[in-house]
A and B are shown apart, each in its own frame.
Chain A
Amino acid sequence: MDAVFLSRLQFAAATMFHFLFVPLTLGLSFIVAWMETQYVRTQDKTYLSMTRFWGKIFLINFALGVVTGITLEFQFGTNWSRYSAYVGDVFGSLLAIEATAAFFLESTLIGVWIFGWRKLSAKAHATVMWLIAFAGSLSAIWILTANAWMQHPVGYTIRNGRAELVDFLAIVTQKFAILQILHTLAGAYILAAFVVMGISAYHLLKKQHIEIFTRSFRIALVVGLVFSIFIAIEGDQHAVDIAEKQPTKLAAMEAHWETTRRAPIHLFAIPDEENERNAVEIGSIPGVLSFLSFHDVNAEVRGLKDFPKDERPPVTITFIAFRVMVALGAYFILITIVGWFKRNKLVESPLFLKIMLFSIPLPYIANEAGWVLAEVGRQPWIVYGLMKTSQAASPIDGSQVLVSLIAFILIYGLLGAAGLFLVVRHVRKGPAVVTAD
């Protein structure tokens, strides 16, 4: 068996599974911290019930995020040893800093938050959740900086047969990293907002715990609305940056074959990679791709045919992933704007609540689609323009990888099912109403 292919499958499975849990952790920690702070400020027990209820969902989710994250750090070594040896001088330090400067704080404090209700003052306990939330996002920032370097390597030189660090600041301050960080964090906060709104809608539809879930819904609505709009504006900047730095990804995400001025976008197309064209193109609007890429309708956009065949990413997957992400992003803006007008009559809007309940999976799909676009769109490179994925794998036998891949799928499948079961069970049961201290 081919170790490269199996390792790619394994890494994809492991990261995508990991990213089912991470975004909720990133966003929900801030929401829970806010609720707990409101409790400390107002001494209103409703906020305490909210903190406890959402806190538990946060913790179940956090446990799954942590354990699935541990394997990722080691997979660079186990499955991608040639990559690690070649770029470790630059890339390794970013992962090491993430553990030392951010993840330690988050992991140490999570135990303090769970078990510290009676050991800390209410104020200190709420502060702990704020620190967890900031440490979580800080963790993400380091990991995304590392990923951004794979997307657009800077601050290095080739010396001693490997990539060596020359400018650390260039890596942590590069525009690509900043845009990717903003995009991913905003996507995570949107996901958390939709989960909170969806679960709240479930109870509001049943007309139970109305106070708790109306408040929860409104807090999440603000988060969802703000970041849905933010991510669209930021995403536009991100696309411009990709047009400049990853022209093959840009061409693939729009299935753009010929280099042209006034380049169009296609609302729908079926790419035919074999014959280097689109089998079907519907709703093509000229100039839009040029405008989105360079903010100029007449700008020239390089097509896929401009690049050697062995330097193009898989077009169909990249094209679909981009469309799914953008379509869902537009939906998030629309539905949260609708929500804004319904915010004072949630219980009387059962249809809207039902839509929000069934919208829970959508931000998950959008987040995963975003990562598929980022990672598949970067192919065939593991580090864009510097090292190909096919040269990066470990010199190990494919059978070893096959066994671990099967184990990953089995164990992750079971854990995911158990986690989902526990969260659904907890949600159905609803919050315990806190009355006494």
Chain B
Amino acid sequence: MLLETIWFGLWGLLWAVFFMTDGFDFGAGTLMPFVAKTDDEKRMTINALGPLWDGNEVWLLTAGGVTFAAFPLVYATMFSSLYSALMLILFALILRGVSFEFRSQIEGPGWRRLWDTCIFIGSFLPALLFGVAFANIFQGLPLAADNVYKGTLLGLLNPYGLCGGLLFLALFLVHGALWLCIKTEGALQQRAIAAANKLWPVELAIAVIFLVFTKFATNLYDNYFATPAFFLVILLTVAGLVGIKVFLARQAFFKAWFSSALTIVGATFFGIIGLYPNMFPSSINPKYSLTAHNSASSPLTLKIMLTVVIIFVPIVLIYQIWAYNLFKDKVTAEDLTYEESY
């Protein structure tokens, strides 16, 4: 039981880290057509993400792999049930991934416009759909006996699901705008600052609507009323949100970005804590719900995987932080002249 609960927490943590890291490049990729006007500005935007997006995306693979290893039944049911939504996300990620590499290879405007479009779609769609998917999971999905899913792709686009999608989109857009504030200069940076300032109230409004909507659409708050200490997570999330605005006003972009990271991790855990022990709740009958306890792997597998995660995740964090630190400087016009730049 304890092992399963620990794994539930780790499962949530991996998703949170994925959203925190890949979130800013989803956001920046979506913002690119709006803040980057010239080809040089677009290149600056892409080079601000270039060294890091790939490592960020592995958090998704790890979250997926860990779901498979620790909760095979959840992995099997969640991904086959949300088949079309997940395929859309994966195709979007494929297009986005190659676009970064392909775009810079040829200078023609038609070629670059093609990959710019792919970067936009490939960033926007996952940002929205991950939110839609998680909100639907919080809400419960039509899962019948024997883990057979009765829903449709369009059924996911219900009001609460869409609200979750917009929330994720807003979180990532602000996160991405702040990243560009840190990494760029000149007119591009000014537009990124303006975008962050304009998007922040939207983020705040959607977050408030989502928190209220959650009370009516889900049972997430039950866990909070049972253990009021968990309300601290919501407080931290709100503190992050406020921090963004405070630090943005002082032009302390690093701190604003960290506040945004805190907001994203907090928002993820807000849902995960409320969900526990459910991982894929059924809206048809609670007894069909998949939980951390009825879907977990054997204790031996959980122990082996725990050892692996305890050893390797800190190592991964160390070299990823090293890589972030290596590329902490602004992308300059001079950087764009180098052969290897995107």
Contacts and interface: CB of A to CB of B under 8 A. Distances in A.
Contact of A107 (B54, B90, B93): B54
Contacts of B309: 100
Report which residue of B90, B91, B326 has the largest number of chain A beta carbons within 10 angstroms of its beta carbon.
B90
23 contacts: A63-B102, A70-B57, A70-B60, A70-B90, A76-B68, A76-B75, A81-B80, A89-B72, A90-B301, A97-B308, A99-B64, A100-B66, A100-B309, A100-B316, A104-B316, A112-B323, A117-B340, A120-B326, A165-B301, A165-B304, A166-B300, A396-B83, A426-B105
B73 A85 contact: yes
Interface in B86-103: 86-87, 90-91, 93-95, 97-98, 100-102
A52 B339 CA distance: 10
B55 A107 contact: yes
Given A89-B72, A112-B326, A404 B62 contact: no
Which 3 A-B pairs give the minimum distances between C-beta atoms? Answer: A88-B72, A77-B79, A92-B68
A78 interface: yes
Contacts of A117: 338, 340
Contact of A111 (B60, B146, B323): B323
Interface of B: 47, 50-55, 57-58, 60-62, 64-70, 72-73, 75-80, 83-84, 86-87, 90-91, 93-95, 97-98, 100-102, 105-106, 146-149, 297-298, 300-301, 304-305, 308-309, 312-313, 316, 319-320, 323, 326-327, 338-341
A96 B100 contact: no
Contacts of B55: 104, 107-108, 111
A67 interface: yes
Given A77-B78, A78-B79, A84-B68, A66 B338 contact: no
Interface string A212-236: 0000000000000000000000000
A331 to B, nearest CB: 33
B73 A422 contact: no
Sorting the interface of chain A by its residue count into under 10, 10 to 19, 20 to 34 or 35 or more gives: 35 or more
B302 to A, nearest CB: 9
A108 to B, nearest CB: 4
A425 B106 CA distance: 10
Contacts of A95: 65, 68-69
Report which residue of B51, B100, B338 has the largest number of chain A beta carbons within 10 angstroms of its beta carbon.
B51
Given A71-B90, A115-B340, A164-B301, 5 more contacts: A78-B79, A93-B301, A105-B316, A118-B338, A394-B83
A355 interface: no
A85 B147 contact: yes
